Structure 1
Amino acid sequence: MSGTASRSRTGSQPTRKLSAAGHAVQVANTRGPASMSELAAESGAVAVTLDEVARDVDALITSIPFSRVPDLRPIIGHLADDIPVADTSNYYPHRDGRIREIDDGKPEGAWVEQKLGRPVVRAWNSLVETTLAGQGRPKGAAGRLAVPVTGSRAADKQLVMGLVDDTGFDLVDAGSAEDSWRIQMATPACCTMLNAEQLRAALAIAEHDAARVRREAILAIVGTWEPDEAFLPDVVALNRAVARLHRLSTGPGNPA
């Protein structure tokens, strides 16, 4: 059984995918179980309160605005120390406000672990919503895309990797929480739709300081667009261009 504390449309996708894969999933948000009734009916998940979502689960998946991550600490407190927490969030300064530590170079995964006081796995955050919703493929299928996963505790990361596999994506171990900058916005691994081989190459060419500069450029451009689902493929194309992914060879799963 897995619990999902969700406050975003992206957070609903793991609920749908994991339920379809046969997992017993319970979901919660700050607005209460009634607000989750449509998702619960559609997916087969059980809508519960925030106090209940972290009880009797094998993993907790969180999907909320990055700046609100510290608000999860009371919920996380209900978990046993050996239960994995997987976070899907990304830092977007225009939404979250400026977080000086992140702007100064602290990896997002390390910041999340610091705020929650425990190891945290980062997963699914490298996918735009339409990729997560519609691009999953069965294990072994041609053109299967890959997801990078970071985490400081091997057992946690292994369990979450299994869940990512169940949502239809290959896995690439991207290191520890301190390595999580390699899968943040404006790096070659983030929102660029790569297969496992390409993703490993993308992780290798990531540039820490350049990514921070490129993030600001991407935000400035996207900020001029009308935000709807139709623009999400353009977000992928922009990320690929800014990250200079023409360095990587094309192949299955690569839209270039």
Structure 2
Amino acid sequence: MRIGVIGIGEMGGTLARRWSEKGHDVRVANSRGPEAVQQFADEIGATATDIYGAVESADVVLLSMPFPAVAKLPNDLFDRAATGVVIIDTANYYPDVRDPRIAEIDAGMPESVWTSKQLGRPIFKAFNSIMFHALSELGKPEGSPDRIAIPIAGDDAWGKQVVVGLVSEMGFDPVDGGSLEESWRQQPSTPAYCCDYGVEKTQEGIRAAARGKAEKIRDNEWRESYGKLFANKPAYADVHADVIALNRSLNPL
């Protein structure tokens, strides 16, 4: 499969690496041009390109970038995209931490609906509710006990099945998160968000999400607790279990 990855930070870079290992034709890009991603591309066996090259003829395009960068993407970015290209959004909105305030999202628009409107394209929300360490290290073969589940939200049934296949290939159980309008149920500080649950508890978490509650947790208890956890700048792998325990404690099922 031809996969374009725009943004090679912790999440985008991890997915690009894993997909390249699986034999996909991976092209990586960021806003600074091919030279900025060449070393990483060489390291993982991918092709360095610009954002247009990541989109052109791709079967799947992964957007793994902060909200201000999404807003700056050129209007013609997807003009030469393949018919039926599947666009996956991994972003999470953390206002006043790493993102500026976005009025539409603060008023209740689901984050990925906002991104879809910026692009003028239908998209899927996936891989946003798992930490990059789990994505890199904790995948298991299909049928394994305690396999972590990843919710997928989007409107097109065929495209969603493409994402289902990619999630399973990475070693995780896909869970249907509903339509893109329902993707708020897997946003930060909801019960299904970054808790490393299996299928049943992830489904329970999606059902248990309550509008308005997650935003209050994200902006108050989560911010304070997360700040304390990372005050001494530990290596993430050393505190992954603590992060998961924190997320579960903020939204107990």
Same fold (TM over 0.5): yes
Separation (CA, whole Å) in 1 of partners of 2:227 and 2:83: 40
Of 235, 242, 245, which residue of structure 2 is paired with 1:237? 245
User: 1:191 aligned to 2:194?
Assistant: yes
Are the equivalent residues in 2 in contact too, given 1:66–1:92 (CA < 8 A)? no
Q: Secondary structure at the match of 1:42?
A: helix
* Residue number in structure 2 paired with 1:176: 179
| Counterpart residue type for residue 38 of structure 2 | S
Separation (CA, whole Å) in 1 of partners of 2:98 and 2:181: 24
Are the equivalent residues in 2 in contact too, given 1:62–1:87 (CA < 8 A)? yes
**Alpha-carbon distance, 1:115 to partner:** 1.3
Query: RMSD between aligned alpha carbons?
Result: 1.7
C-alpha offsets along residues 6-58 of structure 1, whole Å, 9 cap, x if unaligned? 14221111111111222111111122223323322332111112221111111
Are the equivalent residues in 1 in contact too, given 2:8–2:16 (CA < 8 A)? no
Q: Secondary structure at the match of 2:6?
A: strand
* Residue number in structure 1 paired with 2:104: 101
| Counterpart residue type for residue 94 of structure 2 | Y
Q: Secondary structure at the match of 1:3?
A: strand
* Aligned pairs (5 A) from 1:2-17: 2-17=3-18
Separation (CA, whole Å) in 1 of partners of 2:90 and 2:17: 15
Separation (CA, whole Å) in 2 of partners of 1:104 and 1:182: 16
Moved more, 132-141 or 71-80: 71-80
Separation (CA, whole Å) in 1 of partners of 2:114 and 2:52: 24
| Counterpart residue type for residue 24 of structure 1 | D
Separation (CA, whole Å) in 2 of partners of 1:15 and 1:25: 7
* Residue number in structure 1 paired with 2:77: 75
**Alpha-carbon distance, 1:81 to partner:** 4.4
Where does structure 1 lack aligned partners over 5 or more consecutive residues? 248-256
**Alpha-carbon distance, 1:80 to partner:** 3.4
* Residue number in structure 1 paired with 2:223: 219
Change (3 A) 1:74 1:236: farther
* Aligned pairs (5 A) from 1:32-111: 32-72=33-73, 73-93=75-95, 94-111=97-114
Separation (CA, whole Å) in 1 of partners of 2:108 and 2:31: 30
**Alpha-carbon distance, 1:5 to partner:** 0.7
Are the equivalent residues in 1 in contact too, given 2:57–2:82 (CA < 8 A)? no
Are the equivalent residues in 2 in contact too, given 1:145–1:194 (CA < 8 A)? yes
Are the equivalent residues in 2 in contact too, given 1:139–1:168 (CA < 8 A)? yes
Separation (CA, whole Å) in 2 of partners of 1:76 and 1:145: 33
Change (3 A) 1:223 1:99: farther
Separation (CA, whole Å) in 2 of partners of 1:237 and 1:66: 27
Where does structure 2 lack aligned partners over 5 or more consecutive residues? none
Sequence identity percentage: 37
Separation (CA, whole Å) in 1 of partners of 2:133 and 2:71: 27
Aligned length: 245
Of 147, 167, 182, which residue of structure 1 is paired with 2:170? 167
Whose RCO is larger (CA < 8 A, sep 6+)?
1
Change (3 A) 1:242 1:49: same
| Counterpart residue type for residue 214 of structure 1 | I
Separation (CA, whole Å) in 2 of partners of 1:138 and 1:35: 34
Moved more, 179-188 or 92-101: 92-101
TM-score in terms of structure 2 length: 0.91
| Counterpart residue type for residue 235 of structure 1 | V
Separation (CA, whole Å) in 1 of partners of 2:83 and 2:250: 39
